[in-house]
Homo-oligomer: A and B are copies of this chain.
Amino acid sequence: MNEFFALGLGVGTVNARGQWLEAYFPEPRHPVPASLAEALGRAVGWRGGNAAVPLDRPRLVALATAAAGSGDRATAELARRCLGSRRQPVLVLLERDEPPASVPEAYLKLHLLSHRLVRPHGLNLQGLFALLPTVAWTADGPVDLEELPERQLRARLEGRLLAVRSVDKFPPMADYVIPKGVRIADTARVRLGAWLGEGTTVMHEGFVNFNAGTEGPNMVEGRISAGVTVGAGSDLGGGSSTMGTLSGGGEIVISVGRDCLIGANAGIGIPLGDRCTVEAGLYVTAGTKVVLLDEEQRPVRTVKARELAGQSDLLFRRNSLTGAVECLTNRKAAALNEALHAHN
């Protein structure tokens, strides 16, 4: 094998029992030449395969020397800086894209997504959820939940309040990386592991889960569930919803193509093609019966929305006089029927 899947040198947090809570990688890499990864790995006692190697001082020195010897100045410099770290340094080597086997491995993979090195669905996250500990994300950094009450009491007696921002398996992405060219009005609403393309604005009501994201540019005022991807030029209106595979969407993986508009308070339970619009306030689930109208607004047939999955140039609305959910297209009746059959 000529390449390793990924490599990351970082610092992380362990609890009082020495268990990992999280890890931070300022410069994660994917892919990595095998010769380099092996040289760095051997310097710290790595014995092959995927591994997260905690680094003490001698190992950091050895790593810096090996990195310098391999011409990898960035790693050499970072290893030297880690010599003074008050958090636990760690080197993660992922020879292959296998299910993450440790917290640092899992965090490296989440970094790869948020650093835009790997697209959503582009890596193996099997077992991620069970692997990640629930952490109290406080103003003083990550804290083990069992250690929190004592920390909070001590802070109070010192006249401080140890604010807890989140109690979650995933930290806010912005505490780890802010990719170039994005705005995130309320960072609490974008998890590490989100993939935000350049030109993405996530407004206060927007939300992006891990292994999900936007191609950019995009205006996101709605919720992008785990696994959902949104194409360039598409906007999610305020409070709009995309069903995730974790939250009722079942086995259909939802995606939104390019130049779509999901209206405010609207929602989708099917993937959309390009240039689709869902009217404000309308929720289209896979099972919604939809009256399909052709380019002259004549009814062609009635279908379940799932039959329209992935089609482009659709406009979904609820007829405000009859209450029927309608789907307008810019195609003729014949072409429409053909497209539907092709899809089935």
Give chain A's interface residues, CB within 8 Å of chain B: 11, 24, 26, 81-82, 84-87, 134, 136, 139-142, 145, 148-149, 152-153, 156-170, 172, 174-178, 182-189, 204-205, 207, 219, 221, 223, 225, 237-239, 241, 243, 247-248, 261, 263-267, 269, 279-283, 285, 288-291, 302, 318-325
Known: A140-B160, A283-B281. A322 touches B320 (CB 8 A): no
The smallest C-beta distance from A147 to any residue of chain B, in angstroms, reads 12
The smallest C-beta distance from A166 to any residue of chain B, in angstroms, reads 6
CB-nearest residue of chain B relative to A184? B167
Known: A26-B149, A263-B283, A289-B320. A165 touches B140 (CB 8 A): no
Sorted nearest first, the 5 A-B pairs with minimum C-beta distance are: A323-B323, A281-B283, A86-B159, A141-B161, A164-B174
The smallest C-beta distance from A233 to any residue of chain B, in angstroms, reads 14
The smallest C-beta distance from A271 to any residue of chain B, in angstroms, reads 16
Q: Is the CB of A166 within 8 A of B187?
A: yes
Residues of B within 8 A of A152 (CB): 26, 175-176
Residues of B within 8 A of A172 (CB): 163-164
Could you list some 5 contacts between A and B, CB below 8 A?
Answer: A140-B161, A188-B204, A237-B241, A241-B264, A289-B320
Q: Is the CB of A168 within 8 A of B189?
A: no
Q: Is the CB of B160 within 8 A of A141?
A: yes
Residues of B within 8 A of A283 (CB): 263-265, 279-282
Q: Is the CB of A182 within 8 A of B167?
A: yes
Residues of B within 8 A of A241 (CB): 237-239, 264-265, 280
Q: Is the CB of A267 within 8 A of B289?
A: no
Known: A263-B283, A324-B321. A167 touches B141 (CB 8 A): no
Q: Is the CB of A267 within 8 A of B281?
A: yes
CB-nearest residue of chain B relative to A171? B161
Residue of B159, B267, B288 near A265 (CB, 8 A) is: B267
Q: Is the CB of A178 within 8 A of B166?
A: no
Q: Roughly how many angstroms separate A321 CA and B304 CA in the complex, as a whole number?
A: 11
The smallest C-beta distance from A84 to any residue of chain B, in angstroms, reads 6
CB-nearest residue of chain B relative to A149? B26
Residues of B within 8 A of A85 (CB): 156-157, 159
Known: A282-B281, A283-B281. A205 touches B204 (CB 8 A): no
The smallest C-beta distance from A265 to any residue of chain B, in angstroms, reads 5
